[in-house]
Amino acid sequence: MALVQLRSDDSEPVADRVDRALALTRDAAGPADLVVLPELWVCGAFDVEGAQRLAEPVDGPLVAAFRSVAATAGTWIHLGAVPERDGERTHNTSVVLAPDGTVAATYRKRHLFGFDGGETTLMTAGDDLVALDTPLGRTGVATCYDLRFPEQFRSLVDLGATAFLMASGWPERRIEHWRVLLRARAIEDQAWVVACNGVGTQAGVTLGGRSAVVDPLGTVVAEADTGEEVLVATIDPALPERWRHEFPALDDRR
């Protein structure tokens, strides 16, 4: 696993950031089976107006550039969540690419953040739950604020998920919530949690980093610091089933 904890700052030209993200992903994709990027790294997670301005269809040039990287390296890439244009609507959409460069899955963020502003006024929420087979096993996809809604993750378990992939733009001031909730979702669902957060400052909000890989028992296998870095971890996809057999708490649901 390689988690690209990318920096997104208002002061950096978008084209430069895209070039850097592509370069970091190419470097990580060689040795890794799966590479993950953060949420809305193109514009910055809190630059929602920028997300509207930069939104593209899933078959646009941004995704195409990463499809080429995935196909060349033969590696799964979770492109993170990108601003998707679909007609008059803008979605916060996670894109997962297969090793042949095809789009394996897309997931439109269900829980939009902002209460009475931000994403809730400028973007359209998705409705669907998404799970697919990856090197992690059966893998559910979620995005940032979804982490606060445990029922979504339990529903993904009902779809067979033994791992969760998450792109995020979680702010520094609530980063301890992030660290606790990642472990909680892993423990209660007996599943791997692979979560890539961003860093940098957008619209006056500083992101907290601390991307992490958490095992099904809630042990933090690897955690990033608060700057730009590529976090690497090795996981065992069979561990969730072994732990669920040894400690069958999910069988006692009522």
Q: Which residues are tagged catalytic? A: 39, 109, 144
Q: Please state, in angstroms and rounded to a whole number, the distance separating the CA atoms of residues 231 and 207.
A: 16
Residue 227, exposed/middle/buried by CB under 10 A (0-12, 13-18, 19+)?
exposed
Question: What are the tokens at 101?
Answer: 């460069």
| Dihedral pair phi/psi, residue 189, rounded to 5° | -105, 0
For tokens 């990463």, the residue is 66
Question: What are the tokens at 23?
Answer: 């370069």
For tokens 């029922």, the residue is 151
Q: Please state, in angstroms and rounded to a whole number, the distance separating the CA atoms of residues 201 and 24.
A: 20
Q: Please state, in angstroms and rounded to a whole number, the distance separating the CA atoms of residues 246 and 185.
A: 18
Question: What are the tokens at 40?
Answer: 């809305």
Write down the number of H helices and E strands in the chain: 7, 14
